[in-house]
């Protein structure tokens, strides 16, 4: 019964979230563009799917993934766990003692990004627009690797207490250099993938990890160090998606060269 009321509550919340968006779009379509909405029945049915889908999705996350993920984030960052892996109790913890935190950050970043609905949406769109050149899974894995690397580095930053903007600025410089060299087609998509990664699934877990870590590492402030992981998660996918395109291009050129050489012989 509690489950049902939770589901209804979430559905209502999602509906309230959906209404302004739909009102703006249909309002403009009917009043400004004076157009009938094509396939209105289908669209309504589809919106109902979206509503129901998001409702189930969010309740499921609340019930299964978030409590366990958050609990694990606190347990892994707990000094008691970190000391248990060491032979003697040192006076100060070395950054390398947090190895499981970095690995967990990378693993959870990768896996939540694979399940991120907005990334699936963008990947489907990119696949159809590019005529199949960009694979749905290829893009998703490239983005997920970026998020994994970003969040892992982000937890390392919290542990070492180095300033956030050094990392972000260095990342921007890499992005600029890649932008000059990567195939033109991929650039807008790569930039977009930075924004879509941080959504429903990833943010709550990553925020829990960041705040947990900033709260337990000595000398860190939750205010200054707890935030900022999301920024890492938005920056690194740009690098990996452009890298993915650069790698595909390089391999294509190489295979072209091999076939050319063969033909010449």
Partner 1 sequence: MENLLNRLLVNIARTLLNSAKDLLPIIVVIAFFQLVILKQPIPNWEDILIGTLFVVIGLALFINGLQVALFPIGENIAYAFAKKGSIVWLLIFAFALGFGTTIAEPALIAVSAEAAKVAASAGLISDLVDARDSYAYGLRITVAFSVGLAILIGVIRIIKGWPLQYLIIGGYVGVVIMTAFAPKEIIGIAYDSGGVTTSTVTVPLVTALGVGLASSIRGRNPMIDGFGLIALASLTPMIFVMAYGMVVH
Query: What residues from 44 to 73 belong to the interface with partner 1 (CB under 8 A)?
Result: 44-65, 67-69, 71-72
The minimum distance between CB 153 and partner 1, in angstroms, equals 14
Q: Which is nearer to partner 1, 112 or 155 (CB)?
A: 112
Q: How far is the CB of 70 from partner 1 (least distance, A)?
A: 11
224 near partner 1, rule: CB under 8 A: yes
Q: SS3 string of 26-74?
A: HHHHHHHCCCCCCCHHHHHHHHHHHHHHHHHHHHHHHHHHHHHHHHHHH
Residues 195-214 that bind partner 1 (CB under 8 A): 195-201, 203
Length of the chain: 265
Q: Quick check: 122 binds partner 1 (CB under 8 A)?
A: yes
- Please report whether residue 167 would count as binding partner 1 according to CB under 8 A: no
1, 4, 5, 38: residue in contact with partner 1 (rule CB under 8 A): 38
Furthest C-alpha separation in the chain: 75
Nearer to partner 1, 163 or 259 (CB): 163
Piece of 88-96, 219-227, 248-256, 257-265 that binds partner 1 (CB under 8 A): 219-227
Residues 127 and 136: beta-carbon distance below 8 Å: yes
CB 182: neighbour CB atoms within 10 A? 20
State in angstroms the smallest separation of the CB of 177 from partner 1: 11
Closest by Cα among 112, 238, 231 to 174: 238
Quote the tokens at residue 93.
């913890």
Its sign, for the CA torsion 61, 118, 224, 75, is: positive
238 closest CA partner among 155, 149, 156? 149
Examine residue 126 and tell whether it contacts partner 1 (CB under 8 A).
yes
Judged by CB under 8 A, the residue of 15, 93, 97, 120 near partner 1 is 120
CB of 250 to partner 1, least distance (A): 20
What whole-number distance in Å separates Cα of residue 174 and Cα of residue 180?
10
Contacts with partner 1 in 226-265 (CB under 8 A)?
226-231, 233-234
How many residues line the site for partner 1 (CB under 8 A)?
104
Q: Can you tell me whether residue 98 is helix, strand or coil?
A: helix
**Is residue 30 a contact point for partner 1 (CB under 8 A)?**
no
CB of 156 to partner 1, least distance (A): 16
The count of other CB atoms within 10 Å of the CB of residue 168 is: 16
């Amino acid at each position: 019964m509690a489950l049902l009321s939770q589901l209804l509550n979430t559905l209502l919340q999602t509906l309230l979230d959906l209404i302004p968006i739909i009102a703006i779009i249909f309002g403009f379509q009917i009043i400004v563009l004076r157009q009938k909405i094509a396939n209105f029945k289908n669209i309504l049915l589809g919106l109902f799917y979206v509503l129901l889908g998001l409702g189930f999705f969010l309740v499921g996350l609340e019930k299964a993934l978030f409590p366990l993920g958050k609990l694990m984030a606190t347990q892994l960052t707990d000094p008691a766990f970190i000391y248990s892996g060491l032979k003697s109790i040192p006076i100060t913890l070395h950054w390398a003692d947090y190895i499981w935190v970095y690995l967990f950050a990378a693993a959870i970043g990768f896996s939540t990004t694979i399940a991120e609905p907005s990334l699936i949406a963008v990947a489907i769109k990119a696949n159809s627009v590019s005529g199949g050149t960009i694979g749905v899974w290829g893009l998703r894995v490239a983005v997920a690797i970026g998020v994994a690397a970003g969040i892992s580095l982000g937890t390392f930053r919290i542990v070492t207490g180095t300033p956030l903007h050094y990392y972000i600025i260095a990342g921007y410089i890499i992005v600029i250099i890649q932008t000059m060299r990567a195939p033109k087609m991929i650039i807008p998509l790569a930039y977009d993938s930075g924004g879509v990664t941080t959504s429903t699934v990833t943010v709550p877990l990553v925020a829990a990890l960041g705040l947990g870590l900033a709260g337990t590492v000595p000398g860190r402030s939750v205010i200054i160090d707890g935030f900022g992981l999301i920024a890492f998660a938005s920056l690194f996918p740009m690098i990996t998606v452009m890298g993915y395109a650069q790698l595909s291009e390089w391999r294509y050129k190489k295979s072209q060269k091999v076939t050319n050489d063969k033909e010449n012989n």
